[in-house]
Amino acid sequence: MQEILLRATAAAALLMAAGCGSPPTENAQQPGKTAATPTHRQAVQRVDSAGLLPPDVAIASDSATGETMPIVFDSRLEPERLLAWYRSPQRSFRIGSELREGAEWVLSGSANEPQNEFTVRLAPGINGGTSGMVLIGRR
């Protein structure tokens, strides 16, 4: 029970840090599906084209915070596996720093261009797997 509470707390902290406390908008044409705004789609494309989204992730949020658009995702893979994916020398981006904050890993670096500086946060998911967030843009 204590482990479940810790995981729930970690996931809630990740979402709060991303400014994702508000529920996503409902898509009227497909109830139960999140409606992605054009800005959100552009942000997802930018993060994906920079090679910062691991394979087989589900995008979970479209909440903007100020001028940045965090891309929040869920993966069935454990945080250690996603961390290894980000660390792989085959990636097109460079990790400049890596920190551990409680149950979370925080990676920062750049992807090809100065305006593509990024921060990735990885935390254990509530039901296993990983909850992650990518922010990309100038710091």
Domain assignment present for 116: yes
Domain with 45 in it: 2-20+38-136
Average pLDDT of the chain, as a whole number: 75
**pLDDT tens string 69-127:** 788 999 999 999 999 999 999 998 999 999 999 999 999 999 876 567 899 999 999 88
The CA–CA distances, whole Å, from 31 to 25, 26, 34, 91 equal 10, 7, 8, 37
Domain count, the chain: 1
Helix H or strand E segment including 105: strand 104-111
Domain assignment present for 78: yes
pLDDT category of residue 33 using cuts at 50, 70 and 90: very low
92 Ramachandran zone, left/alpha/beta (phi>0; psi -120 to 50): alpha
Supply the pLDDT for residue 137.
Answer: 76
